[in-house]
């Protein structure tokens, strides 16, 4: 399907009138519908998506090492995020669309009008580290974030705070570091160390 619909070097489907900012859906039908012609590849010599990838997960045109992809690491990956990749995640809390952001074809992308797709407001990262399951479920209901679960959500928060946080975040991180969730505790300790290195006490 991806080949028939057209694809960019970032391995995403592409529709000329909407570029590649789109969600895929499926309609099951017994109707005998005509088959569209494949869309022409129009990447040309552009390599913006390859160049922008923070972890170099796009190893070449139409080639992706999913083990390095921030979207995989922060959404699909269930375990600890490798330490060598954590600094490269930057402030990406849930997924990464850098490759889409720089695609020239997205200059024609249209903003979503569906209410469910509009951005939501969330509390500060350090506040969300104190969330219990019921807080997480209520705040993420109806969003893809919900399937992460609270543990991986906090794991991701710890990584982001390790990259962009400051000393005001240490108290919340220390609570997580001393908690019973082994996955979160390890990422919180990593974040604490990073912040203390960036902002040493004088």
Q: How far apart are CA 86 and CA 189, in angstroms?
A: 13
Q: How many CB atoms lie within 10 A of CB 30?
A: 4
All residues at 6 or more sequence positions from 53 whose CB lies less than 8 Å from its CB, including other chains: 98, 99
Query: What are the counts of helices (DSSP H) followed by strands (DSSP E) for the chain?
Result: 10, 2
Query: What pLDDT sits at residue 42?
Result: 80
Q: How far apart are CA 148 and CA 176, in angstroms?
A: 18
Q: How far apart are CA 173 and CA 73, in angstroms?
A: 21
Q: What is the pTM of this model?
A: 0.88
All residues at 6 or more sequence positions from 32 whose CB lies less than 8 Å from its CB, including other chains: none
Identify the structural domains of the chain with CATH numbers, from first to last. 1-27+43-108 (no CATH), 121-202 (1.25.10)
Query: What pLDDT sits at residue 5?
Result: 44
Instruction: Kindly give the parts of the chain with pLDDT less than 50.
Output: 1-8
Q: How many CB atoms lie within 10 A of CB 28?
A: 4
């Amino acid at each position: 399907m991806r080949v028939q619909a057209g694809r960019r070097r970032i391995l995403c489907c592409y529709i000329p009138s909407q570029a590649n900012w789109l969600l895929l859906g499926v309609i099951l039908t017994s109707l005998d519908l005509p088959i569209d012609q494949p869309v022409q590849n129009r990447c040309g010599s552009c390599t913006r998506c390859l160049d922008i990838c923070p972890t170099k997960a796009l190893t070449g045109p139409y080639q992706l090492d999913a083990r390095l992809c921030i979207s995989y690491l922060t959404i699909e990956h269930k375990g600890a995020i490798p330490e060598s990749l954590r600094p490269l995640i930057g402030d990406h809390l849930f997924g990464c669309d850098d490759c889409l952001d720089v695609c020239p074809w997205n200059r024609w992308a249209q903003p979503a009008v569906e209410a469910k797709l509009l951005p939501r407001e969330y509390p500060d990262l350090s506040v969300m580290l104190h969330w219990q399951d019921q807080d997480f479920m209520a705040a993420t209901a109806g969003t893809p974030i919900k399937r992460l679960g609270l543990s991986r959500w906090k794991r991701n928060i710890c990584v982001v705070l390790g990259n962009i946080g400051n000393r005001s975040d240490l108290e919340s991180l220390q609570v997580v570091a001393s908690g019973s969730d082994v996955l979160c505790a390890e990422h919180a300790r990593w974040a604490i160390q990073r912040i203390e290195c960036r902002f040493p006490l004088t």
